[in-house]
Amino acid sequence: MAKNTNVVFDAKPVLKALNELQPDLRKQMLREMKAITKPTINKIKDVIPSTAPMSGMSVARTRTSMDDRKFNNNGEGRLSWTGGKYKNRVISPDNVIPRFSSGRSRKAAVTSLFGIWLRSPGVAMVATAGKGSGRAKYATTREYPYKGGVRRHRNNGQGEALIRKVKSSGLYNFFYKAGEATVPGMESEVKLVWEKYSKTVNRRLG
């Protein structure tokens, strides 16, 4: 079987050696890789809508209760468009960053060494929501942890409405579409950077 030259089989020894040789070498390598991804990241940011595609995902919304009293919902749930949270921190919808990973995925055969991360949970959900039909198989969700206990909620068709909206507005996989033209060149450049620093390690330790 031919060896895939695009696959780095074990990144950790090289990273460890870079730190041992000179701590700044690893940081310098990551800076170079991040600079390569910047044009693609900017393209992705340009196509992220500034407002929520669904009214229920907006930060501030008002509804009327049975007794006609109105209250404000601050919309700061995890999937809110402009107030979405990741690890209890509010993430803006256009928060797109490069991410380096030397760990091995437990699910995938090949783990990306360097990638682009769409950080907002709500934006990421919308971008991938157009694949299915949205029709729920069950009337209620499975139980999930909530405020020290567990709960479940009714499947009320919101997913189906979201998928219709995503498909009609062209938002499905928008980040892949925005960046796909630059991905081959970006991958090649990142690979060259990795090879340059790998050779540095080999020359100094060989």
Residue 153 has pLDDT above 80, yes or no: yes
pLDDT, greater one: 48 or 107? 48
Least confident of 72-86, 88-102, 117-131, 180-194: 72-86
Residue 42 has pLDDT above 90, yes or no: yes
Residue 82 has pLDDT above 70, yes or no: yes
pLDDT, greater one: 28 or 15? 28
3-class DSSP assignment, residue 201 = helix
Global pTM value: 0.70
Q: pLDDT-derived band of residue 77, with 50, 70 and 90 as boundaries? A: low
3-class DSSP assignment, residue 60 = coil
**According to the model, what pLDDT value does residue 35 have?**
94
174-190 pLDDT tens trace:
888 888 888 889 888 98
